[in-house]
């Protein structure tokens, strides 16, 4: 039971790192960026190459995060910014096309095979938690997710920049009318979200295999997190990630015959009762 709880939290924290950028970008920019998963894959591959070249997981963590942030920023400036005023259908089609471009580019650069990113030596082995032995690296994954969630919560709730982001999510027209350069806010949030996707890719590397196409399955789970938690909400992304992580993990153990249906059943139930998600962003009192 405790091991499954830890497995669920580990998956939840990976999904949170990936989905929080997707959720906030959608809430702030009303932009459906399906290529977000491709940046997750890019971070994993750049981290893998860096680890193989330097032997350092920590350099891989920095390189993968920065690579996804830079590529995401260039995509925003060169293409995605022009799509903000377009219909959601055009946004979906263009970013869906970027998924396949990223897939073929990954195959050309890194080949069509799976590899495992080596974790740091100091986190090898197992540790005892609540009376059970559990891999230390997976505890590190949980810790990274919790730390990032705490830092983002402090940044959004306790700083002026966070107040501007919240105001932009609630009413971007009014925020721009107050003289705030909302375009820069959009760009900064977008790049931050892309960097977090790359961070998630590197952190997931020692747990999951790194291969071309690794983004597809994770992207679907991240979209379910956004729908359940509510677009544009940090708290919603966290709660949605924990729910999805637990349902996915315990479903595979207790009800493997219908595990694939449980997650989408949960999403359907949330949409039926709260179409806006459990904790959507919105005007505050």
**Count of Cβ atoms closer than 10 Å to residue 111 Cβ:** 11
User: What does the buried/exposed string (b/e) look like for 86-105 if buried means 16 or more CB atoms within 10 Å of the residue's CB?
Assistant: eeeeebeebbeebbeebbee
Alpha carbons 24 and 166: distance in angstroms, whole number: 10
pLDDT digits (tens, 9 = 90+) for 3-46: 888 989 988 998 888 888 788 777 667 777 788 889 999 999 99
DSSP E strands: which ranges in the chain?
A: 126-129, 132-135
Q: Which of 248, 244, 245 is nearest to 260 (CA)?
A: 248
pLDDT digits (tens, 9 = 90+) for 181-209: 777 887 888 898 899 899 999 998 888 88
**Count of Cβ atoms closer than 10 Å to residue 3 Cβ:** 14
pLDDT digits (tens, 9 = 90+) for 136-167: 999 999 999 999 999 988 888 788 887 887 77
Predicted confidence at residue 264, as pLDDT, reads 87
Burial (CB count within 10 angstroms: exposed 0-12, middle 13-18, buried 19+), residue 285: exposed
DSSP 8-state assignment for residue 83: G
Full-model pTM: 0.88
**Count of Cβ atoms closer than 10 Å to residue 137 Cβ:** 20
In the chain, the domains with their CATH numbers are: 1-273 (1.10.3470)
Q: Does the pLDDT of residue 105 top 60, yes or no?
A: yes
Q: Which of 281, 278, 251, 254 is nearest to 265 (CA)?
A: 251
- Angle subtended by helix axes 136-158 and 2-29, to nearest 10: 30
Predicted confidence at residue 283, as pLDDT, reads 53
Q: Does the pLDDT of residue 120 top 90, yes or no?
A: no
């Amino acid at each position: 039971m405790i091991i499954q709880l830890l497995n669920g939290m580990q998956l939840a924290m990976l999904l949170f790192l990936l989905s929080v950028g997707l959720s906030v970008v959608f809430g702030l920019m009303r932009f459906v960026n399906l290529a977000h998963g491709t940046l997750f894959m890019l971070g994993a591959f750049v981290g893998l190459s860096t680890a193989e070249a330097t032997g350092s997981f920590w350099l891989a963590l920095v390189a993968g995060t920065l690579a996804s942030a830079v590529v995401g920023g260039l995509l925003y400036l060169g293409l995605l910014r022009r799509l903000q005023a377009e219909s959601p259908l055009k946004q979906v089609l263009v970013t869906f096309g970027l998924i396949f471009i990223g897939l073929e580019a990954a195959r050309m650069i890194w080949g069509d095979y799976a590899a495992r990113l080596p974790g740091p030596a100091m986190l090898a082995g197992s540790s005892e938690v609540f009376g059970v032995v559990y891999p230390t690296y997976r505890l590190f994954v949980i810790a990274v997710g919790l730390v990032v969630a705490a830092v983002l919560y402090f940044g959004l709730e306790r700083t002026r920049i966070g107040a501007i982001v919240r105001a932009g999510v609630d009413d971007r027209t009014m925020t721009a009318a107050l003289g705030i350069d909302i375009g820069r806010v959009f760009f900064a949030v977008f790049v931050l979200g892309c960097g977090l996707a790359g961070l998630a890719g590197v952190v997931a590397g020692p747990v999951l295999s790194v291969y071309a196409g690794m983004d597809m399955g994770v992207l679907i789970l991240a979209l379910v997190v956004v729908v359940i938690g509510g677009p544009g909400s940090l708290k919603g992304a966290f709660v949605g990630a924990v729910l999805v992580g637990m349902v996915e993990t315990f479903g595979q153990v207790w009800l493997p015959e219908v595990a694939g249906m449980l997650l989408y059943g949960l999403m359907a139930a949330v949409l039926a009762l709260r179409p806006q998600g459990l904790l959507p962003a919105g005007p505050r009192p």
